[in-house]
Amino acid sequence: MTTRHAVIDTAMLGPVTIVATDEAVTGVYFRHHIRRPAQELFGPELSFADDPVLGEAAGQLFEYLLGQRRDFDLPMNPSGNDFQRKVWEQVAAIAFGATITYGQIAEQLGDRSTAYLVGQAVGANPLCIFIPCHRVIGANGSLTGYAGGLKRKRALLELEEPATVSAGRLF
């Protein structure tokens, strides 16, 4: 198993670390990321230009941040237990520009009372952005925890606002 990483600088989010193992992306982390693994677990740092998996992930992330991409088409292999993977599958299905609550995800999984556990699984998502956990909000519509911080969550949600909504707020 060959684990390696690249750090890309983004204007909107600051430095973003993308981790890959073999032929799949396994992590996306911010500098002050909640639950960020120890740096030595990321393997050697490479230029994303020198690695096809990291390069494709970086390219798609840049396209997304420029408003040129709505979905990610990457080989991904997040590490998690069965429940977490089920939650992440639900999160991955949230459409660009849409939001959903933790309770709604719990309902989709068959038990609304597991909303707290859903929240923990969302918080443990190692592929934030690529598995768009920023699209998960509180029951009352509030912005709740995001591993990269609420400022980044807000920026990502604003990036995805329909043009008519954004234009209406700007003018």
The answer to whether residues 45 and 102 belong to one domain is: no
Look up the CATH number of the domain holding residue 15.
3.30.160
- Report the pLDDT value the prediction gives residue 32, as an integer from 0 to 100: 83
Residue that is last in its domain, among 24, 39, 65: 65
The answer to whether residues 108 and 147 belong to one domain is: yes
**How many domains, in total, are found in the chain?**
2
Q: Which of 28-32, 53-57, 78-82 is predicted least confidently? A: 28-32
- Domain interval for residue 108: 82-161
Answer whether residue 21 is part of any domain: yes
Global pTM reads 0.90
User: Could you read off the pLDDT of 69-125 as tens digits, one per residue?
Assistant: 999 999 999 999 999 999 999 999 999 999 999 999 999 999 988 899 999 999 999
The answer to whether residues 9 and 58 belong to one domain is: yes
Answer whether residue 133 is part of any domain: yes
Answer whether residue 109 is part of any domain: yes
Separation of alpha carbons 134 and 147, rounded Å? 9
Residue that is last in its domain, among 35, 65, 95: 65
- Residues with catalytic annotation? 133
| Greatest C-alpha distance within the chain | 52
The answer to whether residues 86 and 157 belong to one domain is: yes
Contacts 24+ apart (CB under 8 A), 156-165: 156/13, 156/129, 156/132, 157/99, 159/12, 159/64, 159/65, 159/67, 160/96, 160/97, 160/135, 161/97, 162/97
- Report the pLDDT value the prediction gives residue 26, as an integer from 0 to 100: 97
The answer to whether residues 143 and 88 belong to one domain is: yes
